[in-house]
Structure 1
Amino acid sequence: MKNIDKYSRGYFMPLTQCLKWTEKEYITEAPTWCSVDLRDGNQALIIPMSLEEKLEYFQLLLQVGFKEIEVGFPAASETEFAFLRTLIEENLIPDDVTIQVLTQSREHIIKKTFEALQGAKKAVVHLYNSTSVAQREQVFGKSKEEITEIAVTGAKMLKKFAAETEGNFQFQYSPESFTGTEVEFALEVCNKVLDIWQPTTDNKVIINLPATVSMSMPHVYASQIEFMSDNLNFRENVIISLHPHNDRGTGVADAELGMLAGAQRVEGTLFGNGERTGNVDIVTLALNMFSHGIDPKLNFENIPYIISKYEKLTRMRVHERHPYGGELVFTAFSGSHQDAIAKGMKWREEKDPQYWSVPYLLIDPMDIGREYEGDIIRINSQSGKGGIGYILQQKYGIELPVEMRESFGYKVKSVSDHNHKELMPNEIYDIFIKEYLNINTPVELIGHKYTQNGHYETIVKIRVNNEVHEFTGEGNGRFDAISNALQTKLGIEFKDVVYKQHALEIGSASNAMSYVGITANNGTVYWGCGIDTDIMTSSVKALFSAVNNMVTSLQLPVEISFNHSKK
């Protein structure tokens, strides 16, 4: 690409100073989660939520289990102010939930913020100002000392207004654009703020270190977090919080490595909604922990419901490939994937192992409200015999013999390829019915009966070309007698008969399903299926279906030779 020389890696600290986080293998417990959907997420919407929509979204966040929720920037608009007052005055905030509000380091904004917070049972007041090189030079035209003074002045004003306002308040400070700030300078500013607030065990302060713009690889961000964690004043009374954005597509990795490096709290949104490429996605972060056996302390057991609410209220869409939530994330179209999943599911059913380990499925979709049927295996022209067989078995109780799956798979894929579409389970079932089940042309079975005299004899009645005929056959068993009769009397030849059967458990427990494969002289195997309340009758119907498929496919003449007279 052109213009490579326009970009640099920026200022980053020497990594060798802070690498203790690399010695940790897993995140061992969930952080404190803070949803910023109603502030950071809302301000990024094309159409911000109305008061009523924000109230509905707030209830959704409570249902998910958030204990800290940033409800807005109350000094920014009347809607934001009214929303906060409604939450407080109508007692809509549970006692175990802390709300959070954002304010710039400007006196009239801080004053308006505390007016909105009057009477709050528990609230975090989040103060911020930009500290990055780019913001200092290009936006504010201020020195480091002047930027530091903005933070210090804001910290003092928060203490003043908090003392004058009814409520219970905790303070939070963010050096905005932390990732574009020299880390030593970010530390200096944060420590000056902490010196003013004097956090204690009973009144801890939150220092939020945002990747306002994600500017580095995740390991650099983690080392920056570790440096801050090692050097902040009052560290035992400071909660380090992360607020990663996703400009480089690494928001989740930034947060995970940042937690390894000492962060105790994460701010983010459902499905990553936020400015530009969005905030870190808390759904993905939480379910990543879940996949490692760590309780995320949030409830995502009904992802479809959460998505429906999210899409309705934000007017945004969860992409089909979005981790965990997307419509297709548990879906396999590839034949080899489908086969592995189907076998893995069967193995799990038989072995009942303690831990989930199905191929290609990170977690059990059922754990987050997804269904096996229609979610895991879906069929198109790329699908394989295993997946197609799995659909029939799960949906309709039809357990195709392994030898038959390839034949049926080609028929299904041919339909999908010709129509350029995905096939639904009912369409797959319809193809099965049409191609294999109880096929009665050109030779229709009307009836049959047996006698046994050392060996089996059968009398078979058929209809060909609208004429009914009756003839006999002999064999070592009833099925063999029918097979011999068809070959002898119809003048056709086949060999290597494959015969399987099972009770049809879905739909009707009284029915039996039989599968018959016959090999023509050219080596091609033709399949037929039969269903009946009598297992023997179902097998005979399957044989006739296979014979009819062979006769039709090979365009064989049906040359009838009878010992019995035409009826």
Structure 2
Amino acid sequence: MKMMNYKKYKRFETISLPDRTWPNKHIEHAPTWCSVDLRDGNQALVTPMKIEEKVEMFQTLVDLGFKEIEVGFPSASQIEYDFIRVLIDENMIPDDVTIQVLTQCREHLIRRTFECLQGLDRAIVHIYNSTSILQRDVVFNKNKEQVKQIAIDGCQLVKDLSSEFDGEVILEYSPESFTGTEMDYAVEVCDAVMDTWGASKDKKVIINLPATVEMDTPNVYADQIEYVSRKFKDRDRVILSLHPHNDRGTGVAATELALLAGADRVEGTLFGNGERTGNVDLVTVALNMYVHGIDPELDFSHINDVKAMYERCTKMKVGPRQPYAGQLVFTAFSGSHQDAINKGMHKYHERGEGIWEVPYLPIDAADLNRQYEPIVRINSQSGKGGVAFVMDTVFGYHLPKQMQGDFAKVVQSISEAEGEVSPERIFDTFTKEYIDNESPFKFIHQKQTDESEDKSHEHERKVELTISDHGEVKTIVGYGNGPIDAVKDAFNSNGYPYMHLLDYSEHALTSGSSSKAASYVQLRAKGTSITEFGVGVHADITTATMKAIISAMNRIHRRLNKQ
């Protein structure tokens, strides 16, 4: 077999940081978040968003809690320019939200950018030029000094235009392709930009260090961030920002480690939309903090609405396994997982819903306004725990433990033939197997009499039970110390196969004046090993129990006739 030619690739030489400190740290608070959905995300779409779609997304980002939003590249196209003017002219930018615009370090593009921003009180102007070894060589054909001068000239022009601008301008600079740049050279360029700007503790510059291409493992990005953070001439004049991409599929991990390494700010997108494999997914990073008990300062409590907006505006789909938002992320098919979730949910409610600790579910789906019905889905890999969970949480039937396995076998036979079984199909099967099971015996009516005052009679209860027996209506009488005992006597003393009661339980199904109860019994035909469960539902619990006994008898009758 021909092997892939791995020898054509090599690792980028990076820094050595043996005294790194980030591995011993924990994320303790949210960073400053900046959404770049409307710029970086939009430019990666097959069909870029229309102005009205951009407006809808902008308003959603504001509602989610983003205080910094990169709204576009106004010098790149007219629709970008026009959208930003809509936000400004229609006064759509809240006072506590700062918009950010991107431009290359080129004079005509920077001037066009400032023209677009007129009328704003405050804006982040984000300038960039690529500093990587590869781009210096194959794209610009310039040396280090020439590339650094591009950044200095761009910064100086922004500074000059800012002095004529009515509002406040916050400078952001990105040495694009940072991960492919020599670290000491990246520091040199960034310090030169800050010197040109006149940066200080009171006039900070956002230095954005993008993994424009994710080139190594997440720990390497963290080392690079910590190294640069240490090497700045004056760290106090820097807001250190991340802009991770996801080429190696580790954008979230790289972001989390880089935050440990000292970053203050994160740029990314909803659900990781962006060029190639995408930007870092801010939903995942934020909710990862949330499940550690940290306020992410972003509100994803209606994540399905956010997902719907995203899919509507971008024409992209959120994958079924996307963390937190995917259709299947709160779903278990495995029987052992289903059983653990079922037990964990019960324990959580028994404890009074304090700290969330449920196996296989790192977050409470209800916190995201997602429903519990789809958490457990049933297929041929599912077990009794999953079936019991569906019957309990969706339909309110608390199946006895022994019965769970009995009914799971019925459902499994369906799933093996048909694939996944919906909750509705499960309930219909349960009803057919246990509740509407009325052949050859069918409950019609019952009457109870208290015999306790009749001193000549040894039993406390008399039951007159009217049934249909193979289509013939009969009334049989039984005596016992309670209604269940009397019903057993009615059957056993009137020529029916002798039944031994093995298990009994009951519970209310609903509350209020129209409430019903469910009763479960397990019977064994005497002289055999045949046992069956029956279920009865009725407003009167005694009647429900009688119906359950008849249901179990019908199931035993079918078993005996098959032998």
The alignment status of 1:516 with 2:515, answered yes or no, reads no
Pairing partner for 1:544 from 539, 550, 555: 550
The alignment status of 1:76 with 2:101, answered yes or no, reads no
Distance 1:486 1:130, change over 3 A: same
Pairing partner for 2:538 from 532, 541, 553: 532
CA RMSD of aligned residues (A): 1.8
Q: How far did 1:458 drift?
A: 4.2
Pairing partner for 1:454 from 448, 454, 458: 458
Partners of 1:507 and 1:378 lie apart in 2 by 31
Tell me, what secondary structure is at the counterpart of 2:494? helix
Partners of 1:30 and 1:233 lie apart in 2 by 26
Aligned to 1:237: 237
Q: How far did 1:457 drift?
A: 4.8
Tell me, what secondary structure is at the counterpart of 1:80? helix
Tell me, what secondary structure is at the counterpart of 1:15? coil
Contact 1:218 1:257 in 2 (8 A): yes
Distance 1:51 1:450, change over 3 A: closer
Pairing partner for 1:437 from 430, 435, 438: 435
Q: How far did 1:327 drift?
A: 1.4
Aligned to 1:464: 469
Aligned to 2:454: none
Distance 1:130 1:506, change over 3 A: farther
Aligned to 1:13: 15
Pairing partner for 2:505 from 470, 475, 500: 500
Aligned to 1:380: 379
Aligned to 2:247: 247
Contact 2:107 2:157 in 1 (8 A): yes
Aligned to 1:564: none
What amino acid maps onto 1:392 in structure 2?
M
The alignment status of 1:199 with 2:199, answered yes or no, reads yes
Tell me, what secondary structure is at the counterpart of 2:443? strand
Q: How far did 1:288 drift?
A: 0.7
Q: How far did 1:391 drift?
A: 1.8
Q: How far did 1:63 drift?
A: 0.6
Normalising by the residue count of structure 1, what TM-score does the alignment of the two structures yield?
0.94
Aligned to 1:3: 5
Contact 1:503 1:509 in 2 (8 A): no
Deviations 1:390-423 (A, max 9, x none): 2222222211111111111111222222222331
Contact 2:440 2:471 in 1 (8 A): no
Contact 2:478 2:486 in 1 (8 A): yes
Contact 1:396 1:506 in 2 (8 A): no
Q: Which moved more, 1:426-435 or 1:160-169?
A: 160-169
Aligned to 1:415: 414
Q: How far did 1:307 drift?
A: 0.7
Deviations 1:227-261 (A, max 9, x none): 11111123101100000000011111111111111
Structure 1 regions of 5+ residues with no counterpart? Answer: 558-567
Partners of 1:445 and 1:97 lie apart in 2 by 69
Q: Which moved more, 1:128-137 or 1:512-521?
A: 512-521
Partners of 1:510 and 1:124 lie apart in 2 by 62
Aligned to 2:159: 159
Tell me, what secondary structure is at the counterpart of 1:515? strand
Q: Which moved more, 1:319-328 or 1:384-393?
A: 384-393
Aligned to 1:561: none
Q: How far did 1:130 drift?
A: 0.7
Partners of 1:332 and 1:313 lie apart in 2 by 30
Contact 2:239 2:264 in 1 (8 A): yes
Contact 1:269 1:281 in 2 (8 A): yes
Partners of 2:465 and 2:509 lie apart in 1 by 26
Aligned to 2:228: 228
Deviations 1:204-242 (A, max 9, x none): 101000000000111111010011111112310110000
What amino acid maps onto 1:395 in structure 2?
V
What amino acid maps onto 2:224 in structure 1?
Q
Q: Which moved more, 1:476-485 or 1:397-406?
A: 476-485
What amino acid maps onto 2:355 in structure 1?
Y
Q: Which moved more, 1:396-405 or 1:499-508?
A: 499-508
Aligned to 1:45: 45
The alignment status of 1:268 with 2:268, answered yes or no, reads yes
Partners of 1:301 and 1:470 lie apart in 2 by 59
Q: Which moved more, 1:522-531 or 1:402-411?
A: 522-531
Aligned to 1:560: none
Partners of 1:336 and 1:190 lie apart in 2 by 54
Distance 1:260 1:473, change over 3 A: same
Deviations 1:365-412 (A, max 9, x none): 11111122x232222222222222222222222111111111111112
Tell me, what secondary structure is at the counterpart of 1:16? coil
Partners of 2:47 and 2:177 lie apart in 1 by 26
Tell me, what secondary structure is at the counterpart of 1:555? helix
Q: Which moved more, 1:44-53 or 1:483-492?
A: 483-492
What amino acid maps onto 1:420 in structure 2?
G
What amino acid maps onto 2:523 in structure 1?
I
Aligned to 1:562: none
Partners of 1:471 and 1:81 lie apart in 2 by 87
What amino acid maps onto 1:206 in structure 2?
I
Contact 2:476 2:491 in 1 (8 A): no
Partners of 2:195 and 2:485 lie apart in 1 by 94
Tell me, what secondary structure is at the counterpart of 2:293? coil
Partners of 1:529 and 1:471 lie apart in 2 by 21
Tell me, what secondary structure is at the counterpart of 2:536? strand
The alignment status of 1:144 with 2:144, answered yes or no, reads yes
Aligned to 2:561: 555
Contact 1:515 1:530 in 2 (8 A): yes
Partners of 2:353 and 2:367 lie apart in 1 by 16
Partners of 1:515 and 1:266 lie apart in 2 by 56
What amino acid maps onto 1:109 in structure 2?
L
Tell me, what secondary structure is at the counterpart of 2:122? strand
What amino acid maps onto 1:236 in structure 2?
D
Partners of 1:465 and 1:206 lie apart in 2 by 85
Normalising by the residue count of structure 2, what TM-score does the alignment of the two structures yield?
0.94
Partners of 2:379 and 2:323 lie apart in 1 by 22
What amino acid maps onto 2:393 in structure 1?
Q
What amino acid maps onto 1:440 in structure 2?
E
Partners of 1:471 and 1:300 lie apart in 2 by 62
Tell me, what secondary structure is at the counterpart of 2:497? coil
Partners of 2:234 and 2:198 lie apart in 1 by 8
Q: How far did 1:94 drift?
A: 1.0
Q: How many residues are treated as equivalent by the alignment?
A: 553
Distance 1:433 1:169, change over 3 A: same
Contact 2:439 2:470 in 1 (8 A): no
Q: Which moved more, 1:357-366 or 1:494-503?
A: 494-503
1:370-409 → structure 2 map (5 Å cutoff): 370-372=370-372, 374-409=373-408
Contact 1:495 1:519 in 2 (8 A): yes
Distance 1:81 1:457, change over 3 A: closer
Contact 1:242 1:265 in 2 (8 A): yes
Structure 2 regions of 5+ residues with no counterpart? Answer: 452-456
Deviations 1:290-328 (A, max 9, x none): 111111111111101111111100001111110111111
Partners of 2:206 and 2:42 lie apart in 1 by 23
Tell me, what secondary structure is at the counterpart of 1:469? strand
Q: How far did 1:346 drift?
A: 1.1
Contact 2:70 2:100 in 1 (8 A): yes
Partners of 1:111 and 1:306 lie apart in 2 by 35
Tell me, what secondary structure is at the counterpart of 2:429? helix
What amino acid maps onto 2:547 in structure 1?
K
Tell me, what secondary structure is at the counterpart of 1:288? helix
Q: How far did 1:264 drift?
A: 0.2
Partners of 1:510 and 1:91 lie apart in 2 by 55
Q: How far did 1:125 drift?
A: 0.7
